[in-house]
Amino acid sequence: MIEEKIVALASKYTAETIAIRHHLHAHPELSYQEFETAAFVEAKLNEIGIPNIRMGITGVIGIIEGKNPASRVIALRADMDALPILEETNLPYASTKPGVMHACGHDVHTSCLLGAAKILSETKEDWQGTIKLIFQPGEEKNPGGASILIKEGVLENPKPELIVGMHVNPQLETGKISFRGGKVMASADEIYITIKGNGGHAAAPHLTIDTILVGSHIVIGLQQIISRNNNPFSPSVLSICAFNGGFTTNVIPNEVNLIGTFRAMDEKWRFAAHELIKKQATSIAHGMGAEIDILIDIGYPSVYNHERLNANAMGLAKTFLGEKCVEETELRMGAEDFGYYSQKIPGCFFRLGTRNEAKGITIGVHTPTFNIDEDAIEMGIKMMAFLGANLNING
């Protein structure tokens, strides 16, 4: 039985995978700078005997062929980049690069996929099809490594029929994983607004264009787009997070800058909202006599998990691990460039529980003290290998 082999091999390779994770954690690299990481991944794949190529400068794509390679092609994805954060964990394998840290668990994703690759390679007589391993750069930074790899053809030759990605979850206990079909994470676009007008003496506002007041109306007007135009059953968030203008008590400034983020779960609404944001902000500014420039920088699309694929993955996980270990992922307004893949082919983005209150491991991702409970690594390797060997869209 392949399940038993995977369980045995995952246990056998856990220590080695943890050592790989420690190496990656100690040597983090920022988005699109993953040169050492990519070379490390290539060396590991070569050691296992998995043919691989470079893609997108610091991406590595490996291919494992099982029985009847053309019968089924699936992709397993891990991201490899770290964040510009100064690590404060005091771990023996803490970052050796000041100001760069694996604070989102991408070291875990990469090491678990290497562990799974080793298992899938050793069991290739036991499963059908071809597995494409995607070690991608730049998840944390626009335009997103996924979008670059897609442009370079990662979803062609051979063309995967589905893609699986895993992410650590410090809110979910170790020993558990979670799945969800449909919408799981939001799109994220950046909003940059500049309001211009002739400022002047604060005691003579009638002789000026009050850019501060215009900006204030725009902040409020934009909030009403979400509350009045968005379908309340589809979450969407608009947050203006910086309001910059002025310098003293008695001068109305010539310019005010607003920046913020817009998030949505529905791609149609997302682009409709961009137009509403531009229209609303422009008409407020013009109505009050000011000029306005608006830039909406398009970020990652929402992550949509194919319903049937995720139901199948969840079903397999329940059989493999037991009902108690499998939960439903909660909706999040965070973004993930896995969305680029899942907009193109059926995707399954699942969560690996890495929380352990007894060990004091509860802190969230993107913080200087983030860490995972490494007891979760065995589950991470096992699940990637198991889904790689078994997951199909049709049952």
**Which residues of the shown chain bind Zn ion in the complex (CB under 5 A)?**
104
Of the pair 104, 258, the CB lying nearest Zn ion is at: 104
Catalytic residue among 139, 189, 266, 378: 139
Of the pair 137, 199, the CB lying nearest Zn ion is at: 137
d(CA 196, CA 72): 57
Q: Which of 175, 192, 197, 195 is nearest to 361 (CA)?
A: 175
Please count the other Cβ atoms lying within 10 Å of the Cβ belonging to residue 137.
Answer: 29
Of the pair 104, 385, the CB lying nearest Zn ion is at: 104
For the CB of residue 294, give the shortest distance to Zn ion in the complex, in Å.
Answer: 27
Angstrom distances, CA of residue 286 to CA of 178, 217, 246 = 49, 12, 20
Residues 6+ apart with CB under 8 A from 39: none
Token duo for residue 214: 């215009």
Of the pair 104, 316, the CB lying nearest Zn ion is at: 104
Of the pair 45, 104, the CB lying nearest Zn ion is at: 104
Q: Which residue is nearest to Zn ion (CB)?
A: 104
Of the pair 104, 389, the CB lying nearest Zn ion is at: 104
Of the pair 80, 226, the CB lying nearest Zn ion is at: 80
For the CB of residue 354, give the shortest distance to Zn ion in the complex, in Å.
Answer: 12
For the CB of residue 300, give the shortest distance to Zn ion in the complex, in Å.
Answer: 11
For the CB of residue 105, give the shortest distance to Zn ion in the complex, in Å.
Answer: 6
Is 139 considered catalytic here? yes
Catalytic residue among 81, 107, 122, 210: 81
The set of catalytic residues is 81, 139
